[in-house]
Chain A
């Protein structure tokens, strides 16, 4: 591939990803206002939090638990944000940024910008992929959040429109592409069981932030024991 065509391919990939991801900002905006947030609060989340999974988690827990669920909502969003930290570790060597540029790069560090950057061959394209994808997602995600929030704010009873089912389907859509390996699937299954068992026992919002880490801990312990080899299907556990 020539230099020019490689450059245009990373640009079109980045903008394409930005538009596709940005579009579902509409569902975030609508679900946020349905959960009881104002249009402004939904918008500020997309500007400042800017991480789809964490944003859905925050409004999901608030929608289900109301103001009493604020702390579990923050913790859920925070725990889901950990992975961005790992993308940041990787990108820090790729981008070599400092000062104000680093502060902006950190904000744009999300699933998509990291993925596009990681899929490029040359360091230059890798940098370009990060920046264009990050900026494209940021613009489209925020624009469509506003559209969705304005649509959602005119709906008085979210369940009549099936928005509670939409929220559940949104989480399913976020986890679906990650269910690729046996261990991930097992972790997901154990997390679901632990969490549902905890639902009647502890206040709403908390089962998720207890159940999910417990599941990860259990799978880790299983891996450390003899069972781990059996689970992994190899001999160097």
Chain B
């Protein structure tokens, strides 16, 4: 657990780097549309990739387990415009029920 301090501090500095960089560059960079679109796309791609890995990956194997059902319920709730916290708790509840009551993986 102590070794995680490295990730906590280095990660925080790495994220702050972008924030302070934006305040340090000449203002003309803000007008480059292509760069702005690139940043938006990269954000979408990373979050989608993280969703996929968190849903289907167990280490280096792909699996179908109770997480998938939980995420499917969350997707339905987001589609119905439910708040973030409601969807996240519902996903946990569904996965927990499937595991504890039905013995799903």
Contact = CB atoms under 8 A, between A and B. Distances in A.
Contact of A37 (B8, B41, B83): B8
Contacts, number: 309
Interface of B: 1, 3-12, 14-23, 25, 27, 29-30, 35-36, 38-57, 59-62, 66-67, 69-71, 74-75, 78, 83-85, 87-97, 99-100
Interface residues of A, number: 99
B53 to A, nearest CB: 6
Contacts of B5: 41
Given A49-B15, A83-B39, A84-B15, A173 B46 contact: no
B4 A80 contact: no
Given A166-B88, A175-B47, A70 B16 contact: no
Contacts of A132: none
B42 A213 contact: yes
Interface of A: 20, 23-24, 26-27, 36-38, 41, 44-45, 48-51, 53-54, 56-58, 60, 62, 64-65, 67, 70, 73-74, 76-93, 97, 102-103, 105-107, 109, 159-176, 178-179, 183-184, 187-192, 194-196, 199-200, 202-204, 207-209, 211-213, 215-216, 219-220
Given A162-B96, A208-B53, A212-B45, A178 B19 contact: no
Given A160-B99, A169-B70, A175-B47, A216 B15 contact: no
Contact of A92 (B12, B23, B96): B23
Given A27-B85, A168-B91, A84 B22 contact: yes
22 contacts: A27-B84, A49-B16, A56-B50, A60-B54, A64-B59, A65-B59, A70-B6, A70-B7, A76-B50, A83-B40, A86-B30, A109-B19, A162-B66, A165-B69, A169-B71, A169-B92, A172-B51, A175-B51, A190-B45, A200-B60, A212-B42, A215-B45
